[in-house]
Chain A
Amino acid sequence: MKALPIFFKLLGWDILREIRRRETIPNMLLFALLVLFVASVGVDRDSGVKISSSVGPVFFWVAILFAGTVGLSQSFAAEREGGVLGGIVTSPIDLGTFYLAKVAATTLYVVVLEIALLFVYGFFFSFVPASQLGGLIGAMSLFTVGYMGAGVVLAAMTTTLRGGGEVVLRILLVPLMIPFLWVILRQSGLFFQTEIAGGALGGPLRQSHFFTFCVALDAIYLTVGYLLFPKVLE
């Protein structure tokens, strides 16, 4: 069977299921909203706008990181409940194609979440990075592709563990993403036009250096994921 039509079929099926059930995106959004809300309460308003603009992007990315794990832990829920996963494994569908479709679907959900979260961020922290929006969305997309590339494999593994393995998923995935997040946070100084956490993480990288790093990590995670995912479903 040809891979591309199967890929779009699986992607369409996942999106259709999300539109009907409306579970993943609203749950992720609610979780991220809670993180940003609690963070905005924690920031000392009396100390002025400077502090909130300096640590705000850190909270923004932390909210995305943890909300992403909520989405990932739900990404195989439907397959697990209906016994669909067994059907897919025994069908002639290439499991690598199934992996890529799953990564594409979850990436789409998380990018939707990130764009929605930008408005929430503007509301709580009184700043929208309008002038750097293109660069920020590009960085968010690149981060999300790598994040979901690794996350889908780990979610497929942990979904079969005792109690759904949600805690184990976070324990495994979050440390893997910290180097990526660290570079993104350094670069966020440009996007949010501030010095992140008082410059504690270092200044932004050269744009070309930054995008090379992101694309290289994405390529590594996607290749490793593509090769290992069929093994996990075995």
Chain B
Amino acid sequence: MRLFPLPLHLTLGWAGVLATLGLVGFYVPTADKTIGESYLIFFFHFPSAVNCLNLFVIAGVVSGLYLARSSPRLDLWAASAIEVGLLACTITLVTGSIWARAAWGIFWDVRDPRLMTVAIMWLTYAGYLALRGTMDEPVKKALFSGVFGVIAAINVPIVYFAIQFFGQSHHPMNVDLTQFEMRLTEAVGATAFLVLYTAFWRMRFRVHWSRHELNRMESAFHRSGI
């Protein structure tokens, strides 16, 4: 029997997020020279954005590997990465909108290439989940998801280079964290969210894998005619 109800990596991730919250509340300076108090949300917004891009890149690579090797594990790792990436992307959009309201006075700016490309990426990966939902046959589901997972990864460089290419953005390329307290909080936040999203990714994979194994055993049971 487990002494603690949560797995270790998940516990560490949540503890890190709580520590970040504590640092943001009591340790880090409350206002930045250039963007004022609203910069505090950066410590939650930035790690989610980075993890979302990382997870989508990983999903694209793993989808490509699935197409080469046809292992159901790879398909399920890719699908789990996209589910968790979509969660991170949603958090990025929500925290970004809150930050935009505080900094620019509006929740959304259609002229901003970074905002628009991230929203497009969210829609693309939501489409990936919709595609998976329309298919029951596991091999076909994995194959088509693999193909779309590779195509959808084209979004990641578009998001990354959006400001350089399209220009005219309110979105800062980077926030200049001048003080040690700020850099420490950023490091703790980045590590915490990395651990947390990795834990989510692993958990989602285990759920998918259990379901896959259950379906496989069920099919074998029916085939045997017992």
Contacts and interface: CB of A to CB of B under 8 A. Distances in A.
A and B: interacting chains: yes
Interface of A: 150, 153-154, 157-158, 160-162, 165, 168, 171-172, 174-176, 178-179, 182-183, 200-202, 213, 220-221, 224, 228, 231-232, 234
B130 A168 contact: yes
A135 B124 CA distance: 30
A231 B147 contact: yes
B165 interface: yes
B144 interface: yes
Given A161-B135, A175-B124, 10 more contacts: A154-B148, A168-B127, A168-B131, A171-B130, A179-B120, A202-B111, A221-B154, A231-B146, A232-B143, A232-B147
Interface in B139-158: 140, 143-144, 146-148, 150-152, 154-155, 158
B120 A175 contact: yes
Interface of B: 67, 110-111, 113, 116-117, 120-121, 123-124, 126-128, 130-131, 134-135, 140, 143-144, 146-148, 150-152, 154-155, 158, 165-168
Given A201-B110, A220-B154, A232 B123 contact: no
A224 B144 contact: no
Given A162-B134, A202-B167, A234-B143, A179 B158 contact: yes
A200 B144 CA distance: 36
Nearest to A177: B120
Given A201-B111, A202-B168, A213-B165, A228 B67 contact: yes
Name the residue among A158, A160, A175, A231 with the largest chain B CB count within 10 angstroms: A175
| Secondary structure class of chain A's binding surface, majority of residues | helix
Nearest to B123: A175
Contacts of B123: 174-175, 178
Contacts of B131: 157-158, 168, 171-172
Contacts, number: 77
B179 to A, nearest CB: 35
Contacts of B124: 172, 175-176
15 contacts: A153-B147, A157-B148, A161-B135, A168-B130, A171-B127, A172-B148, A176-B151, A179-B117, A183-B166, A220-B154, A221-B154, A224-B150, A224-B151, A231-B67, A231-B146
User: What are the 3 tightest A-B residue pairs by CB atom distance, in nearest-first order?
Assistant: A175-B123, A175-B124, A171-B127
B139 to A, nearest CB: 10
B119 to A, nearest CB: 9
B143 A182 contact: no
Nearest to A202: B168
A152 B134 CA distance: 19
B154 A182 contact: no
A172 B127 contact: yes
A157 B150 CA distance: 14
A201 B130 CA distance: 29
Contacts of A172: 124, 127-128, 130-131, 148
A182 B116 contact: yes
A224 B152 CA distance: 11
